[in-house]
Amino acid sequence: MPSDIRTGSLVRDDTGIEYVLGDVIGKPGAQGIVYRVEGQPGFAIKLLKRESDLARIEAVRRLPLDGLRLSQPLSLIRDGGTGYLMPLAGDMKPLADPYLPREFGPRETSGVDWYRDTGGLRRRLAIAANVAQCLASLHERGLAYVDLNPNNVMVSDDVYRDDTWLIDTDNLTSRANPKWDIVGFPGYAVPERVTRKAPPSTLADAYTLAIVAFRMLVLRHPLEGAAADALDGDEAADAINTGLLAYVGDLVDDSNRLPARSMSSKLFELALSRRIHGLLRETFADGRLDPLKRPGAGRWRDALWLAHDNVVDCAARCGWSYFRLVRSCPACGAATQPVVLATVFPAWGETEWADVDPQARDSLTLSSDRPTELGERHLWGAYRSTDPQVTFRPVSKGFELSASEGLHVTDGAGKKVARIPYPETRKEYRVRIEASGRPTRTIRITAVESR
């Protein structure tokens, strides 16, 4: 690309609109530079280093990627530079250093506060779940993302939000016609790709996804335990990338445990739900060198969201969030208050369900500070739409319910329910959710205490 292109340069896209390049956002991969666009906070422009890459972008642009949180090429730029325009919210930053400790360098140990100030467990789970959701829907369309790494994941700059987008769609590839050239980003590599034994695949994506999730939550690579620490830096990196070391949480092989009393070892206990532990073992113990044993991105998505929905805020408002069953805040020790739990059941009527219910589709805590939204994923495990289906809005002494259009929230007698009181301990309320063309659901609202 011409060397005189920089912030302030003018480029024009194929549709005849001129753009002034803004600040550089990042240099994901080696192929180009991403700029903001002056006066267009919702867009970014990536200029390519090699003009020949444009053909590939043209092809990616034709892929059916609607509805994904993926910065797909919108229009092509040939005038004033070579590249493409993509949608990107103005206040997003790459998920690199601010959220993940530096690659294999000295661990940032500002510790507890830092974890909290970057959004805490709740936000980390939400971002990881968003990445998983995006990958899962890409995989559903027969495409692999190939180059997942922290520079390609853009998240809201505002720690109270968890919007997540994947950028850099240059390397999207289909199983029918895979491209071999990307081997992976250091620290996020997949063994069979580093060793060039297999082409990029959705299962390779799933492995990287597991690394990203683990690193976000536990702040380490899942293979970076005592055994890795015993090796030299380069040697350790190599061993980790090629999958030669055991998983830090391997049930049998305890050669590579996390160093005791490190922050990561505490987070390993606190930040991972039972289901996530299971998925991690499947990925890094059994599936490390055998891709077919790895869980897919869809299972990661479900597990991460479920974990996210069962996180509560510290009652003393120290800022930490943690799983609702933990008895007291891990940071300040304040006792966990009873939480209001909404549990989604497949149908209506039965009352003999136990407190923890194997039949339950999903369960989530209802916040008493802000509205809690139940979406398609809670009610039917679907991800087509992110619109809230039922909203529980805390009001004085209870919750106000509102439902999306076409959805009926009723009590047992068929009367519309618009408000439920705050449930006292050992009391429960049930509402019935009906929508045409979808299975009927029951939501039970109870107040439960941590054990």
Which residues lie near other proteins (CB under 8 A)? Answer: 13-19, 39-40, 42-43, 58, 61-62, 64, 73-75, 85, 87, 156, 158, 160-161, 163, 370-373, 388, 391, 393, 395-396, 400, 402
Measured from the CB atom, is 108 or 400 closer to other proteins?
Answer: 400
Measured from the CB atom, is 267 or 342 closer to other proteins?
Answer: 342
CA 214 vs CA 211, 264, 304: distances in Å = 5, 10, 11
Whole-angstrom Cα distance, residue 216 to residue 203? 20
Whole-angstrom Cα distance, residue 184 to residue 431? 48
Q: CB of 42: closest distance to other proteins in angstroms? A: 8
Torsional class of 333: left (φ above 0), alpha (ψ -120 to 50), beta (otherwise): left
Q: CB of 391: closest distance to other proteins in angstroms? A: 6
Q: CB of 388: closest distance to other proteins in angstroms? A: 7
Whole-angstrom Cα distance, residue 444 to residue 417? 13
Q: CB of 366: closest distance to other proteins in angstroms? A: 12
Where do the DSSP E strands lie in 131-280?
A: 143-144, 153-156, 164-166, 173-174
Measured from the CB atom, is 11 or 227 closer to other proteins?
Answer: 11
Q: CB of 18: closest distance to other proteins in angstroms? A: 6
Measured from the CB atom, is 85 or 267 closer to other proteins?
Answer: 85
Residues paired with residue 391 on neighbouring β-strands, in sequence order? 373, 402
Measured from the CB atom, is 135 or 403 closer to other proteins?
Answer: 403
Q: CB of 401: closest distance to other proteins in angstroms? A: 12
Q: CB of 164: closest distance to other proteins in angstroms? A: 13
Burial-class residue 238 by CB neighbours within 10 Å (0-12, 13-18, 19+).
Answer: middle
DSSP-derived 3-state class of residue 400: strand
DSSP state of 201: -
Measured from the CB atom, is 79 or 235 closer to other proteins?
Answer: 79
Q: How many CB atoms lie within 10 A of CB 68?
A: 20
Q: CB of 372: closest distance to other proteins in angstroms? A: 7
Centroid of chain to Cα 173: 21
* Cβ pair 242, 223 in contact under 8 A: no
Q: Which amino acid is at 197?
A: K
Burial-class residue 333 by CB neighbours within 10 Å (0-12, 13-18, 19+).
Answer: exposed
Measured from the CB atom, is 238 or 373 closer to other proteins?
Answer: 373
Measured from the CB atom, is 85 or 189 closer to other proteins?
Answer: 85
